[in-house]
Amino acid sequence: MEKEIIWIGNDHGGYALKLRIIEYLKDKGYHVNDVGCDSTEIVRYPYFAAKVAGAVSRGEAARGILICSTGIGMSIIANKYRRVRASLCATTYLAKMTRAHNDSNILCLGGKTTGEFEALDILETWLTTEYLGGRHDISVGLIADAEQAMFGDHAWEPSGPMR
């Protein structure tokens, strides 16, 4: 079975970690579409986040990875895109839970805050953990409902039981 194509984007703060992650992904048989910057020269992360999040939003990519210095900025901009569930993960447990419960489709990492070996463990967990569905479909569905409302220029007004 052929592995999926993983889109990866980064700014200057994520450049070094991106190189290691691309090597790791290729060793595992994944194809990589690198749309990030190619040096440590200062650039603006929203441009690179938009490439990956846009591809996921349009259905051109099933999953992506975004890396900036902390991962925070990348996760903020990526989650502005329809159908994107970007998750900043600093531990393998968070990677497991965001895949299992939230069906996360973009992994955000901090190139200056997460060590290389920890980042690779997080990545492996995120890539191999399956979405559980079931009761979690309710919450993921509510996220989709909120997106639908907010992309229509009005606030989401949740209704129904909160349990």
Structure confidence by residue, pLDDT tens digits, 122-149: 999 999 999 999 999 999 999 999 988 8
**DSSP secondary structure letter of residue 121:** H
Whole-number Å distance between alpha carbons of 36 and 11? 6
Domain boundaries, the chain: 5-131, 133-163
pLDDT at 36: 97
Q: At 3, is the pLDDT very low, low, confident or very high (cuts 50, 70, 90)? A: confident
89 catalytic residue (yes or no):
no
* CATH number 1.10.3210.10 is the correct assignment for the domain at 5-131: no
pLDDT at 65: 98
Neighbours of 88 (CB within 10 A): 25
Q: What backbone phi and psi angles, to 5 degrees, belong to 19?
A: -60, -45
Mean pLDDT score across all residues of the chain: 94
Q: Got the DSSP string for 101-120? A: HH---EEEEETTTS-HHHHH
Whole-number Å distance between alpha carbons of 71 and 89? 8
Whole-number Å distance between alpha carbons of 119 and 125? 10
68 catalytic residue (yes or no):
yes
**Residue whose tokens read 């910057």:** 37
Buried b / exposed e over 94-115, threshold 16 CB at 10 Å, is: bbbbbbbbbbbbbbbbbbebbe
pTM over 0.85: yes
Q: Of 101, 108, 136, 154, which residue is the catalytic one?
A: 101
Q: Is the pLDDT of residue 54 over 90?
A: yes
Q: Of 12, 37, 68, 108, which residue is the catalytic one?
A: 68
State the average pLDDT over residues 38-66. Answer: 96
pLDDT at 153: 62
